[in-house]
């Protein structure tokens, strides 16, 4: 697997690359006409369906590209950051976003482009989005329960429907092209009825794009015929044993280098797990999904206590494996519960306690307790001391 | 005054946008976004004004915990790029000018700005519930066939079409 390239560079390089990618994003949105509210709003009155055309063409271009690359074994889809599903909140969020879109004339992304083109209404939208986000945070005690409801984790349609991605991608491309042709029919019909000119667009260019996407889709389907890249079952791999402290430090210092999987029953895992750990699915005794995980990360497995036998999926995993000594209970008592410090502790014990309480605070989200205040002998303040006025520099 | 350059054919714009999105996935392993940066900017500004109140809030505290800088995030830099790229596009396309865009039937500038702000306000709340907006959720999640993203995207169009007749005066 060659892509994504992110395993080869650090956080700062990622930020610089992010800025460059953003420049491409902003430039493309501007050239597509998305810096001007009336063009975006026209989508909802059927006079110019650019939003639909640009957005869906972009989705199918990226989708088909990823399908071909993963089909020929160059891209590992499981390493991509995919937004998790929260069904109820996302239905409400989507409906509200649509309402805000037609009221403001922009979506959050295009408002930045509009502002960059000099439009005050773009700036007003950005300020609104910022205020709305802050309002959400302030109302969090009221809406937090709903916000967290309907959590389903990362759910991708190929896994949900049990249909290979290449076939689904072909279906989405066909659906999109159908939607484009329908949208163009709506545009011309409404324009005739309103005595307006339909949006000018070259049919030849459109047909070339459709043909290109069609060819890429067929390539994606053809890649299904390639032999699947499977990692052979290694005889016996050396499996490292990590204690809770080592795992906690790895999670804080190199979160991208480890992949933690909870092998306890799915219900137990759903209730409480090591932060960031994946749960197994019900009925998956072999934990078959483990063999599909990215071999670039160390796979850390844990159970209730020590794991004796590796599940079959883990034996087919290509990378390094570590088992958590003592299982979840060791992590819970050693890291999640901040240990008490005995009076008269040695310097070593004190350093260890500092580390553990910092880690405990990190994982449990509570603050580190401040050490008891040092009582200082009171010094009398001379009454004729000059009173400082005003601020500093 | 020179005539501004025409906009791209929407299908060509879509292919280029799709390649930017694909490039983002291939290079950094994640897609594009926008509303997350606005959220972080807001929290950053609020924590300058009222640091203790922000740190005490259950939602904001995730972003401003000890050792965390709310602006040290991929999305913030990506949106910085969006502003630069948008400015380059507008300038080179002959569309860089101060003004307010509005529909065919002009409304007063303050009405337009108030509606833009109100729409933004609704979207700010919406993007938190949806875990993203049209960029981070519909476009990015849509291209990797995420269930929640497709549901979100359909709801965006549904919400827009439902309310469009009510605000028709602003645009038509």
User: CA dist A152 to A270, A276, A344, B140, Å?
Assistant: 11, 14, 48, 18
* Model pLDDT for residues B81-102, shown as the tens digit of each residue: 999 999 999 999 999 999 999 9
Q: Residue A278's beta-bridge partner residues?
A: A261
Is the Cβ pair A27, B89 closer than 8 Å? yes
User: How many CB atoms lie under 10 A from the CB of residue A261?
Assistant: 23
Return all residues near A322 (Cβ < 8 A) that are at least 6 apart.
A239, A240, A241, A242, A247, A298, A299, A300, A301
Distances (CA, A) of B69 to A118, A122, B45, B79, B134: 29, 27, 12, 17, 26
| Inter-chain touch A107–B133, beta carbons under 8 Å | yes
Nearest CA in chain B to A201: B9
Spans of chain A below 50 pLDDT: 231-235, 385, 387, 391-392
Distance separating alpha carbons of residues B55 and A25, to the nearest angstrom: 33
CA distance B94 to chain A (A): 10
- In eight-state DSSP terms, residue B139 is I
Query: Which among A38, A63, A202 has the least Cβ separation from residue B103?
Result: A38
For chains A and B, count residue pairs whose Cβ atoms are closer than 8 Å: 562
> How confident is the model at residue A244, as a pLDDT?
86
Q: Residue B135 above 50 pLDDT? A: yes
Given an 8 Å threshold on Cβ–Cβ distance, is B17 in contact with A25? Answer: yes
Q: Where are the domains of chain A?
A: 5-225, 240-336
B50 touches chain A (CB under 8 A): no
Q: What are the beta bridge partners of residue A335? A: none
Strands (E), chain A: 85-86, 151-153, 239-242, 258-262, 278-279, 298-302, 321-324
Query: pTM of the prediction?
Result: 0.74
Q: Give the model's pLDDT for residue A136.
A: 96
Model pLDDT for residues A319-331, shown as the tens digit of each residue: 788 888 888 888 8
Give how far A380 is from chain B: nearest CA, Å.
32
Cis peptide before B37 (omega within 30 of 0): no
Q: Do B78 and A83 touch (CB under 8 A)?
A: no
pLDDT value for B33: 93
Q: How far is A384 from chain B (nearest CA, A)?
A: 35
What is the rounded average pLDDT for all residues in chain B? 93
Using pLDDT thresholds of 50, 70 and 90, give the confidence band for residue B163. Answer: very high
Question: How many residues does this entry show for chain A?
Answer: 393
Q: Which chain B residue lies closest to A194 (C-alpha atoms)?
A: B172
- Contacts with B, A 31-90, CB within 8 Å: 31-33, 35-39, 41-45, 47, 50, 53-63, 65-66, 69, 75, 77, 79-87, 89-90
Tokens read off for A184: 């163009």
pLDDT band per the 50, 70, 90 thresholds, residue B116: very high
- A356: contact with B, CB 8 A cutoff: no
**Which residues of chain A are within 8 Å of residue B125 when distances are taken between CB atoms?**
96, 132-133, 135-136
Percent of chain B clearing pLDDT 90 (strictly above): 83
**3.30.70.100, 3.40.250.10, 3.30.70.1290, 3.40.50.1820: CATH of A240-336:** 3.40.250.10
Structure tokens that stand for A132 in this block: 């709305």
Residue pair A32/B10 in contact (Cβ under 8 Å)? The answer is: yes
Tokens representing residue B166 in the block: 């009510």
Q: Which chain A residues are within 8 Å of B36, Cβ to Cβ?
A: none
pLDDT at A232: 46
């Amino acid at each position: 697997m060659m892509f994504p390239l992110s395993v080869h560079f650090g956080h700062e390089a990622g930020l610089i690359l992010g800025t460059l990618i953003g420049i491409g994003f902003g430039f493309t949105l501007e050239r597509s006409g998305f810096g001007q509210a009336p063009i975006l709003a026209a989508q909802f009155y059927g006079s110019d369906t650019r939003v639909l055309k640009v957005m869906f063409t972009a989705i199918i271009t990226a989708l088909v590209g990823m399908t071909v690359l993963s089909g020929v074994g160059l891209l590992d889809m499981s390493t991509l950051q995919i937004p998790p599903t929260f069904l109820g909140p996302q239905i409400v969020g989507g409906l509200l976003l649509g309402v805000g879109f037609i009221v403001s004339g922009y979506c959050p992304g295009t408002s930045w482009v509009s502002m960059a083109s000099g439009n005050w209404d773009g700036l007003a939208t950005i300020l609104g989005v910022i205020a709305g986000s802050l309002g959400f945070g302030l109302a969090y005690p009221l809406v937090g329960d709903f916000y967290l409801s309907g959590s389903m984790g990362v759910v991708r349609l190929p896994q949900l429907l049990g249909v290979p991605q290449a076939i689904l991608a072909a279906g989405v491309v066909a659906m999109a092209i159908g939607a484009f042709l329908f949208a163009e029919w709506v545009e011309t019909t409404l324009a005739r009825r309103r005595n307006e000119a339909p949006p000018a667009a070259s049919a030849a260019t459109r047909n070339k794009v459709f043909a290109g996407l069609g060819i890429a889709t067929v390539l994606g389907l053809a890649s299904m015929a390639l032999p699947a890249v499977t990692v052979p079952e290694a005889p016996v791999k050396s499996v490292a044993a990590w204690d809770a402290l080592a795992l906690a430090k790895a999670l804080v210092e190199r979160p991208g280098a480890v992949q933690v999987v909870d092998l306890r029953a799915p219900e137990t895992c759903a209730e409480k797990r090591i932060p960031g750990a994946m749960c197994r699915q019900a009925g998956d005794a072999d934990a078959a999904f483990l063999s599909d995980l990215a071999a670039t990360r160390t796979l850390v497995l844990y159970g209730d206590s020590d794991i004796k036998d590796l599940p079959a999926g883990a034996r087919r995993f290509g990378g390094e494996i570590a088992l958590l000594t003592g299982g979840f209970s060791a992590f819970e008592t050693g890291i999640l519960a901040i240990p008490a410090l005995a009076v008269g502790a040695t310097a070593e014990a004190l350093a260890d306690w500092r580390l553990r309480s910092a880690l405990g605070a990190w994982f449990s989200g509570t603050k580190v307790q401040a050490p008891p205040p040092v009582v200082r002998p009171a010094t009398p303040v001379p009454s004729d001391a000059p009173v400082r006025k005003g601020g500093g520099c | 005054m020179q005539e501004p350059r025409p906009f791209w054919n929407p299908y060509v714009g879509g292919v280029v946008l799709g390649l930017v999105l694909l490039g983002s996935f291939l290079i950094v392993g994640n897609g594009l976004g926008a509303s997350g940066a606005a959220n972080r900017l807001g929290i950053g500004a609020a924590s300058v004004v009222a640091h203790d109140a922000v740190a005490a809030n259950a939602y904001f505290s995730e972003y401003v915990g000890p050792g965390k800088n709310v602006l040290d995030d991929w999305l913030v830099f990506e949106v910085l790029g969006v502003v630069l790229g948008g400015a380059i596009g507008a300038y080179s396309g002959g569309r860089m000018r101060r003004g307010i865009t509005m529909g065919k039937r002009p409304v007063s500038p303050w009405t337009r700005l108030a509606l833009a702000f109100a729409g933004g306000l609704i979207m700010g709340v919406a993007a938190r519930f949806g875990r993203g907006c049209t960029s981070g959720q519909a476009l990015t999640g849509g291209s990797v066939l995420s269930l929640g993203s497709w549901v979100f995207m359909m709801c965006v169009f549904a919400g827009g079409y439902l309310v469009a007749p009510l605000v028709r005066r602003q645009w038509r």
